[in-house]
Structure 1
């Protein structure tokens, strides 16, 4: 009987674990799980007392199992166990809410907003005037959604800011003059946006996030950015305005991306990179400035070798 999931090092009776690499084989010494997911190449590492479930993609299988075992953990829990519309929420009379919408205390829903069935608006969240939110979405506590159209099955985590003004100014005789921001944010189905992430509204066009894209905590997405379907964007990424990102793009943590450039479908950007120019489809880039990964790794190897050589000469002089 499988009741929960756990890391290999502390798996116990009733737990399901997964093994991705030989680097974690030492953790098996303390594992007492009821089963381990792995591929055939790692099967021999698993102690004989633990049943093995073979899967070509064990991490994917583990994710599916986790969703089945812990369905309530698939989206943020409500702060209060209230159903329906809290008496302490503020909902404009012109807002249109379908049946089975839950609005927690201190949430505010503006004029002419529309919210679909099964959607939950968390405590203290703000839904601006004219915002449209689809069905089975979660807008977690403290988030704000303004000037936006949001599809179905979207999760927006605590403190995220969607649809505020972007950074747009023109130089004037007495300083910077604000450029009006009158576009929207369009978020398609099955998107997840992490805590304290910001997605700016478009200047005149729209900022768009494609279906199935997953965005981590503390990401900044500038105005008029267009992100394709099924992308993965890790924490601390900053994407400047009017950048176009294709489908299936993976961007590592703390990457900075210049504005008005294009990153092609299926590209991968290594963590801590600075992207200043277009990235072709399917390419792997890294470094500052970002360049093809083989070039980046060669440059790193050369710098490491030169540094080692200098250190050796310095050591000889000191001797």
Structure 2
């Protein structure tokens, strides 16, 4: 069977354009791939032959029906719906230059708007809660020492969980000043300093696991029990385990603590001790300072202190207590 124009365009987009011309990460390609797997599944369920599906059949009405199916049948949230739509938009921006004959149809698809979503709150841990979680791994076992090192590095660097699991021995520099090289979104690398306590536990961990000799440069920094590269799910499992233990000790631990919460926590702690937003932006690997400003907007205590410094206290401290005014009490009692 001769491949359709949709099959050719989608194959070229995922296997050549994204990795070759856009140089996007494998995780981004996987996200686009999953979107179109869902889209083709929806088409198949609604009587459309995937083998014969063409670009001319993919119009605004079909995309809107697919988005509705995501929300109503698969119970996806608005943010997930918007993410799928963003992948579809990106594909049709590519298609409109490769197959301009359907430009009007493609532009109608590109005009489908994102749904408004409430701004998510920035969940973070207090210093006491963080210390309690980091104290849970058992230092008497090799697994506990690995987990303690992993969680310490995750917090201290403010790394995304994928950046953490992608770390290799060659990305670690323990000589002063100790630095980790993280490769983030868009395959951009940034160099993040680590604090002395983290450097000590990381050096001990690497010495114990024979990661300091020259032949280990390409080995993953953190491995699972099968001696394979740690996964994002594995990191989340480790964190959940110690969060549950810490919650049994203190009710102050939030209900949900994900690896990304440790990233938020690092940013909030830096902000609270007066570190400039520009430095926090560079540490986290944000492209735009506006992304980092969400932490400043989220910290109500910083807002209160800023207002106290900006304006004098206009309320006198010696105002009389209302419950000592007998005439007022008598009037209130008569109501």
TM-score, with normalisation over the residues of structure 1?
A: 0.21
TM-score normalised by structure 2 residue count: 0.21
Q: Tell me: higher relative CO, structure 1 or 2? Use CA pairs within 8 A at least 6 residues apart.
A: 2
More helix by share: 2
The structure with the largest alpha-carbon Rg is 2
